[in-house]
Amino acid sequence: MVPAEVAGVLFTADPMSGRRDHVVIEAAAGLGEAVVAGGTTPERWIIDAPTHGVLTRPERALLAPDQLDSLVDLGMRAARTFGIPQDIEWAVHDARCWLLQSRPITSLFPIPSATAPGLRVYLPVMLFAQGIAEPMTPAGNSFFRAMVSGWFRFWISGQRPREIDDPPHFLPIVAHRLFLDATAVLQRPRLATRLVANFSLKDPTGSEALRTWLSQNSDPLPRPSGRTLPLGAIILIPSLLLDVMASLAAPARARRRLIAVADKAIARLDEHASGLSSPQAQLHFVERVLPAATCDMLLRQLAAAYGEWLIRIVIQRSVRRWLGSSQGFEPVVRWLP
């Protein structure tokens, strides 16, 4: 219905990278059916949405700079109107830009609502911690979110959790997966390097993607503020070092002690749960008490876990010295015991 000289599609978020601050415009001469149907190779621009700066451009340009600006404005107005990134068909006739159709971009992975300005980085908690990429049930997400919340609050405040309060904003659940806003860690190069290395043990592909992303996008991250070591870590480290040494000196004794402590904790939880009669009390136990108890048990096992980690480092370095590479050791580390 519009006798277009130029037509094409516009995405208010990059459908390939998922970046919401990029606008992608594809254009071809004539009507837009060939672009929509994939029958031609269109000219392609990637534009920074806040500044309208052109990041990539084709060798020859069917669109003038003012037409690019007009299309970006139309696209962003449509995205604001519908409250979600849009896939838009457009046309140019008599130097005027027309919006023909707008619909949501269905291929984008959802992102959480930003709680702070600037670029934010979210990592999947269960993939990083356990190598689990699949979505979880609502009950599973609720439990692990509460437990991870208690873990972080201990490291920040130094207080062992007795009951879990409402989870913090930096642990959102998106697409049935628990995520962590890791921006504060990735702001610091040494911590970022260590996190990427640890991630490689669970998901080498994801680790490499994160390493590549950091090499290209570390500058826009907000600058770090405050101390690197939180209060909880400062309080815990001296006693943790002593416990690690004791665990390495007598591993069998440390194992027996941890099993005994776990058995007592489970017995207390069982006694507590058996006395709950109302659904409200039972729900409170599952949502607040049980995750806190699990988190406390994990904290008690830290010395043994770090002792094993030190042994692993020694073995890995020995294998590298003997064989010239530790690549054969990595599958052993990732294998289930």
Per-residue pLDDT reduced to its tens digit, 296-335: 999 889 899 889 888 888 888 898 888 888 777 777 776 6
How crowded is residue 124: how many other Cβ atoms within 10 Å of its Cβ? Answer: 18
Q: Which domain holds residue 127?
A: 122-323
Q: What is the CATH number of the domain that holds 87?
A: 3.30.470.20
Domain match, 100 and 127 both: no
Q: What is the pTM of this model?
A: 0.73
Q: Would 114 be classed as within a structural domain?
A: no
Taking the C-alpha atoms of residue 44 and residue 121, their distance in angstroms, rounded to an integer, is: 27
Taking the C-alpha atoms of residue 46 and residue 55, their distance in angstroms, rounded to an integer, is: 5
How crowded is residue 247: how many other Cβ atoms within 10 Å of its Cβ? Answer: 23
Domain match, 81 and 143 both: no
Domain match, 132 and 248 both: yes
Q: How far is CA 102 from CA 77, 95, 99, in A?
A: 11, 21, 8
Q: Would 330 be classed as within a structural domain?
A: no
- Can you give the pLDDT at residue 220? 66
Domain match, 243 and 195 both: yes
Domain match, 171 and 246 both: yes
Domain match, 249 and 147 both: yes
Q: Please state the domain count of the chain.
A: 2
pLDDT tens digits for range 46-94: 999 999 999 999 988 899 999 999 999 999 999 999 999 999 999 999 9
- Can you give the pLDDT at residue 222? 66
Share of residues in the chain with pLDDT > 70 (%): 95
Q: Would 329 be classed as within a structural domain?
A: no
pLDDT tens digits for range 226-279: 556 677 778 778 888 999 999 999 999 999 999 999 999 999 999 999 999 999
The Cβ-side half-sphere exposure at 145, using a 13 Å CA radius, reads 24
What mean pLDDT do residues 156-160 have?
A: 80
Is residue 182 within 8 A of residue 198, CB to CB? The reply is no
Taking the C-alpha atoms of residue 126 and residue 174, their distance in angstroms, rounded to an integer, is: 12
Q: Would 337 be classed as within a structural domain?
A: no
Tokens encoding 305: 């876990």
Domain match, 193 and 166 both: yes
- Can you give the pLDDT at residue 313? 86
Residue-averaged pLDDT of the chain? 87
- Can you give the pLDDT at residue 249? 92
Q: Would 112 be classed as within a structural domain?
A: no
Instruction: Kindly state the helix (H) or strand (E) to which residue 100 belongs, with its residue range.
Output: strand 96-104
User: Is residue 13 helix, strand or coil?
Assistant: coil
